[in-house]
Amino acid sequence: MNYSTQSKNFKIYTLIEVGKKYQFSGNETSEWAKNAKEAQESNKYTSLQYTIIIENISDKVIRDFKAQAFVDEGLRPYIMSGILYFGTLNQQKIDLNVKNNEKMDYMTEISRFTWLPNINQIDVKDKEKILEAIKKPIKLIIKWRDGEEYLLLENAEVKIY
């Protein structure tokens, strides 16, 4: 795993996937899965997924961990939901342990899946604006019981399918 950002307490890997096709079983029961399958099959939309993996590299347990990521404002007119942030839920109780080789409890992941207009069917200028906004740094706020960090994730791995 190639990390895009490192701070005193964390290593962070950021992956952005544009246009990835997802497999659906055909008998989706959740409303979300039905809508996602329909959106993908309609060919009117392009998928957009952000995945941020945060690893504790400190020598202490990080208690009451929370993280919020904010993507570029330039995506607002294009993201179907209009929501430009994602992260841990307030009610989640997350502790990141000190790294060990037996468990993966020293890292966590936050992610966001949404839809854009089909970037192969829109105006070239709009497509350029979307891709430019996707490649801009992501603001990440991490808070825990004993501290906080404000990071700019500038070296995301971007995959366009």
Tens-place pLDDT, residues 26-57:
676 788 888 888 888 888 999 999 999 999 99
Nearest to 132 by CA among 46, 83, 73: 73
- What's the pLDDT at 1? 64
Whether 90 shows a pLDDT value over 70: the answer reads yes
The answer for residues whose C-beta is within 8 angstroms of residue 110's C-beta and 6 or more apart is: 51, 52, 54, 67, 69, 86, 87, 88
Pick the closest to residue 86 from 137, 49, 40 (CA basis): 49
Amino acid 55: pLDDT? 95
Number of domains in the chain: 1
Place of tokens 């854009």: 116
At 17, is the pLDDT very low, low, confident or very high (cuts 50, 70, 90)? very high
pLDDT at position 117 over 90? yes
The mean of the pLDDT values for the chain is 92
> Cα separation of 138 and 72, whole Å?
7
The CATH code of the domain that includes 91 is 2.60.40
What is the residue range of 52's domain?
5-160
